[in-house]
Structure 1
Amino acid sequence: MRVFAAVVPPEQAHADLESFVEVRREVDSDLRWTPSHLWHVTLAFMADVAEHEVDEVVTAVASAAATRPPVPLRLSGAGVFPHVGQARVLWMDVRSDSAEGLADLGSLALGVRRACGRIGASPAGGDYRPHLTLARSRRPFEATSWLRVMDAYAGPSWTADEVTVFVSHRGTGKGRPHYEPVAACPLGATVSRG
């Protein structure tokens, strides 16, 4: 099964971004907007975890989270993957009001990935780029105008104080996946199972 560890924006940040994005969803485009209840900032993604190994993943994530401080964050600005001329993913940037904030988030992601890797959960690799996925497109598109619009967003500051472990269940047909939270792992504390 697919398992991931993520930071979930709190209600205030979530509601603020939702009000900004809501009217933009109505624009006629090929974008498939991510429903707001699925919004998160992924730290580690494991594509193939056996059901009996989920508890081990939770323990690994909890151990990594317990050694890291809460992280001051905000959603502000936008970007695309892979690049503006051939975009397939439109995302909201994750920033911090503190100089150490993004470094702490990167350290948290690295710690979670390493902890999961040590138990054989094999997190996806590559450079870590914190982001919140807003929309995807089946076909590449030129994203300059979308970036101009979305880059104007600057959300409220908030403090990430836990990492949530999710199991991702595939949607049926063209349906969206369903993310089931299985544990909340406090930063600098102990685990609380969902």
Structure 2
Amino acid sequence: MRLFVAVTLGETIEAQATAAIQRLKGLARHARWVPPSHMHLTLSFLGEVEAERVPAVKQALERVGPVHAPLVLSIEGGGSFGPPAHPRVLWAGVGGDTKALGALQADVAGALKPLGFEPEHREYSAHLTLARAKVPRGDRELAECVRALHGAKWGEARVDRLILFESLGGQYHSRAEVALSG
């Protein structure tokens, strides 16, 4: 099973993302656009995991959820990864209670480490991936999308649960959900 832990942003942000992506697609015709129903903030990517390990992963997450309160995030602005003239990834920015989100991510990574899931070594940077270049060298059209995202505001989302997702056949399936109840 290909697994990751994430939080989702709800229907309001999904609707705003849908509208924005429709506008942006005209600027970057060759990019691979993320379906709005797949939008989430990844907290930990686990990779390929045997099915019999899922209960242990869920138990680890069940220790994290009760010590974190729900939080409110906003989606605004945007940027890219890769060379500015030929970005490889286009993303929308995350604002609001990002300190609480960072603490949640750190606790998720810490809870999963004893199970053999090594945390990433770079600092967590919350972003909402919108599109990826189809070619490794990047897509200059995505640079125009970055300019179009300047000043964009998509609203707020209440984050109230951790979700263990399985990525299977281009679809994301929830395998466990843990409420944030601290």
TM-score (norm 1): 0.85
Tell me which residue corresponds to 2:118. Answer: 122
For 1:141, which of 139, 142, 160 is the aligned residue?
139
Contact kept, 8 Å, 1:30 with 1:137, in 2: the verdict is yes
Displacement of 1:28 in angstroms is 5.2
Query: Residues 93-112 of structure 1: matches in 2 within 5 Å?
Result: 93-96=93-96, 101-112=97-108
1:79-113 CA-to-partner distances (Å, cap 9, x unmatched) read 111342331110111111xxxx1111001001001
Structure 2: state its 5+ residue gaps. none
Tell me which residue corresponds to 1:63. Answer: 63
RMSD of equivalent CA atoms: 1.7
1:4-37 CA-to-partner distances (Å, cap 9, x unmatched) read 1111011122112212222322445221101111
Aligned AA (1:34)? V
Higher RCO by CA contacts (8 Å cutoff, separation 6 or greater) = 2
Q: Distance in 1 between matches of 2:95 and 2:35?
A: 22
1:50-91 CA-to-partner distances (Å, cap 9, x unmatched) read 111111111112211221111110111111113423311101
Structure 1: state its 5+ residue gaps. 172-176, 190-194
Q: Distance in 2 between matches of 1:108 and 1:80?
A: 24
113-122 or 136-145, which deviates more: 136-145
Aligned AA (1:95)? G
TM-score (norm 2): 0.90
Q: Distance in 2 between matches of 1:28 and 1:75?
A: 21
Q: Distance in 2 between matches of 1:154 and 1:85?
A: 24
Tell me which residue corresponds to 1:174. Answer: none
Q: Distance in 2 between matches of 1:133 and 1:122?
A: 22
Contact kept, 8 Å, 1:47 with 1:124, in 2: the verdict is no
Q: Distance in 1 between matches of 2:112 and 2:161?
A: 17
Q: Distance in 2 between matches of 1:47 and 1:124?
A: 12
Displacement of 1:123 in angstroms is 4.2
Q: Distance in 2 between matches of 1:129 and 1:23?
A: 26
Q: Distance in 1 between matches of 2:31 and 2:149?
A: 14
Q: Distance in 2 between matches of 1:91 and 1:63?
A: 31
Displacement of 1:129 in angstroms is 0.9
Contact kept, 8 Å, 1:47 with 1:123, in 2: the verdict is no
